Amino acid sequence: MNVSSCFCYNCNTDYPTLTSLSSNNSDKQNLILQICNGIFKAIQNEKTMAEIVCSMSHRQLRNINEVEACINEEFRQLFINNVLRKEINSFLISTWRIRLKWSEFNNDSLIRNLLLISKKWYDPFTSYLQKMNSQKRNKWFYEQNGDEGILNNLKEHLPGFKYLIEYTWRQSYYNCYGGFVFASDSGIFIEVTVNARNGRRFQASENFEGKYVTLLRATYNYDEDDSEKATLEFIHDNDEIIMQFLKEIYNNNSLQRYNNNNRIETNSLQRYDNNRNVALLRDEQIEQIAEIAAGAVVGIAAVAAVAGVGYLAYKAATNKTVRRTATAINYGYLAYSLIQKLEKENERERNDNDD
C-alpha cells in the first residue's frame, strides 16, 4: 500500500493562514485529516474498513504512543460508543499503518462526527479557500458580465459550499454546459457537471489532492429559461448522504449565528429601552421639581423625597439651572435625610422670626 502525501496546510499551500493552529501541529493535522479522508472514501465506496499508511514527515509525532494518543484524543467518543475500532502498526521509519473498522449501521453517526472533526482541523485552509473564491468569482463576473444566474441556482442546491475553486463554462444561444468545483469549511469539495455532453463529466484541471478531505461528484441539469426545473443528482448514493449531513451542520450553524445576532440585537434594544425609560422618568421628576419650584420650598422637599431625586435637586429647585443640576444628582436615602434636615432648619428659622 502506498504512503499518502502529507495533508497538512503548510505542505499544500503557500498562502499564509490566519488561524491559531500552530505549525507545530502539522503532523497532527496531517494524521487527523488523512484518517477522515480514508474513512470518507471507504464510505463512498460502500466499504466498512479503511487502511491508512501515514508518514509523520515533520517528525513531531515520533513514536506509536504519540500517534495513538493523538488519534484517541480526537476520535475518543467514536471509540467509546463502539462506532469505530482501530489497529495501529509500525510500517516504515516515522510511518504507521492504521486500520479502522465500523458497522454500516453506524455510518450516519460516523459521518456526522467526521464532518465536525474535519472542520476543526481543516480550518487553516479557509484562508486559501477565501483567496481562491475571490479570484474565481471576480473572473466569472467579468467573463459573464455580472450574470450569476447559474451560481445562484447552484447555491440553493449546495448549502455550505460557499467557496468557488474552479470552473469551466461554455455558453451559446442554444445551450450552456461546463462544470464547477466548490468547497466547504469541513474540507468537503464537490465537483458539479452542468448539462453533461455525451455522458462526459466535468473534470477539474487542477489536482486538489491534499487540499480536500473528500471529493463528492454530482450532475446538474440546468435550463436558463426554466431554472426551477433544474435537478442535482449525485454520482454515488453515499455522496448524497454526506451532503445531507453537511447541509444539516451548515443549517444548524446558520441558525446559531442568527440566534446569537438576534440575542445581541434584543439585548441592545433592551438596553436602549431601559436607558430611555430612565431618562424619561428622570425628566418627569425634574419637571415636577421645576413646576413646584415657584411655590413653597417645603413642598419641593416632599416631591423630591417621593421621587427619590436627592439633595442637590432640592438645593437647586429655585435656581434657573434646576434641570442641568438635577440630572447630575445622586439618589438614595442620604439625599432624603438631608432634605429632612434642611426642612427642619428652615422651620426653626421661621419660628425664630415669628418670635
- 21-35 pLDDT, tens digit each: 556 789 999 999 999
pLDDT band of 1, cuts 50, 70, 90: low
Does 194 lie in the same domain as 94? no
**Which residues are CB-neighbours of 162 under 8 A, at least 6 positions away?**
133, 155, 182, 184, 185
Give domain status of residue 265, yes or no. no
Domain end (from 208, 230, 256) = 256
Number of domains present in the structure of the chain: 3
Same domain (yes/no): 52, 134: no
The verdict on residue 2 lying in a domain is no
Same domain, 131 and 248: yes
Q: Residues 104, 133: one domain?
A: no
User: Given 67, 89, 122, which residue is the final one in a domain?
Assistant: 122
Average pLDDT estimate for 312-332? 42
Of the three residues 122, 144, 164, the one that is the final residue of a domain is 122
Q: Is the dihedral of CA 268, 270, 275, 280 positive or negative?
A: positive
The reply to whether 76 falls in a domain is: yes
Residue 264, in any domain of the structure: no
Tell me how crowded residue 113 is: count the other CB atoms within 10 A of its CB. 21
The residue segments making up the domain with residue 306 are 274-354
Same domain, yes or no: 218 and 329 = no
Query: Do residues 217 and 227 lie in contact, with contact meaning Cβ atoms separated by under 8 Å?
Result: no
- Could you report the per-residue pLDDT of 36-45, keeping only the tens digit for each? 999 999 999 9
Which strands make up the sheet holding 214-221, listed edge to edge? 163-171, 176-183, 188-194, 214-221, 231-234
Residue 142 half-sphere exposure toward CB, CA atoms < 13 A: 5
Q: Tell me how far apart the alpha carbons of residues 139 and 180 are, in angstroms, rounded to a whole number.
A: 13
Tell me the pLDDT tens digit for each residue of 56-115.
988 899 899 999 999 999 999 999 999 999 999 988 888 999 999 999 999 999 999 999
Same domain, 142 and 83: no
Closest-CA residue to 32 (of 62, 74, 66, 61) = 74
Asked whether residue 267 is assigned to any structural domain, the reply reads no
Query: Same structural domain for residues 241 and 205?
Result: yes
- pLDDT-derived band at 147 (thresholds 50, 70, 90) equals confident
Q: Which of 137-146, 244-253, 263-272, 337-346 has the lowest mean pLDDT?
A: 263-272
Domain match, 113 and 142 both: no
- 349/283 same-domain check: yes
106 & 189 share domain: no
CA 144, 132, 208 angle in degrees (round to 5)? Answer: 110
pLDDT score for 302: 46
**132 and 246 within one domain:** yes
Q: Do both 144 and 43 map to the same domain?
A: no
